[in-house]
């Protein structure tokens, strides 16, 4: 498996992986599938030297991705980023997400990052386990801040210093 910066041609695969997760209601507060067109700006907001978007690729196929994004816009939060990681359902439990997160942790300092957070629904057990496995701890809980299929859901903030 190779990890590399995403390019525009990867966007359909990135979106397919994301939309499969949208439908599960455990991964993201996005409730409707997104289109490739609507995510072009999001792709271009990433930059390899500051807020990268990486894909995991095997045999020429994108099977997962990880994005860095700024946590909050104010200057004092510049060293803190939010990570998102998504893996193709057909390739789960093979260590893909772990490798992507390990790579993020390894590169954090050189990207000017000193703290990383994942905003994860409290009912997203696989992701909570994953982040814990990589040394993240529960830094916060926002109770009942999301409504999914009529159910109020908590948001967990998982964090790790570099």
Ligand X SMILES: CC(C)(COP(=O)(O)OP(=O)(O)OC[C@H]1O[C@@H](n2cnc3c(N)ncnc32)[C@H](O)[C@@H]1OP(=O)(O)O)[C@@H](O)C(=O)NCCC(=O)NCCS
Applying CB under 6 A, the span of 34-42, 45-53, 70-78, 126-134 interacting with ligand X comes to 126-134
Q: Is residue 111 a contact residue for ligand X (CB under 6 A)?
A: no
Classify residue 35 by burial, with Cβ atoms within 10 Å: 0-12, 13-18, 19+: exposed
Q: Which residue's CB is nearer to ligand X, number 97 or number 104?
A: 97
Site for ligand X in 87-106 (CB under 6 A): 87, 92-98
Cα separation, 106 vs 91, in Å, equals 23
Q: Which residue's CB is nearer to ligand X, number 56 or number 111?
A: 56
Q: Is residue 21 a contact residue for ligand X (CB under 6 A)?
A: yes
57-95 burial, b if ≥16 CB within 10 A, otherwise e?
beeeebbbbbbbeebeeeeeeeebbbbbbbbbeebeeee
Which of 10, 27, 116, 156 is in the footprint of ligand X by CB under 6 A?
27
For residue 78, the SS3 value is: coil
Q: Smallest distance, Å, CB 109 to ligand X?
A: 21
């Amino acid at each position: 498996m190779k990890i590399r910066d995403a390019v525009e041609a990867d966007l359909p695969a990135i979106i397919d992986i994301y939309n499969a997760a949208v439908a599960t209601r455990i991964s993201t507060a996005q409730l409707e599938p997104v289109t490739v067109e609507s995510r072009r700006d999001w792709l271009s907001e990433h930059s390899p030297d500051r807020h990268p978007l990486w894909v995991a690729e095997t045999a020429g196929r994108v099977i997962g991705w990880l994005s860095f994004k700024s946590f909050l816009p104010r200057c004092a939060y510049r060293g803190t980023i939010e990570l998102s990681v998504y893996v193709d359902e057909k390739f789960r439990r093979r260590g893909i997400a772990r490798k992507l997160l390990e790579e993020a942790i390894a590169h954090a300092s050189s990207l000017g990052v000193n703290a990383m957070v994942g905003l994860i629904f409290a009912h997203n057990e696989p992701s909570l386990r994953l982040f814990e496995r990589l040394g993240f701890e529960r830094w916060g809980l926002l109770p009942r801040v999301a409504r999914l299929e009529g159910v109020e859901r908590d948001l967990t903030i998982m964090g790790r210093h570099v």
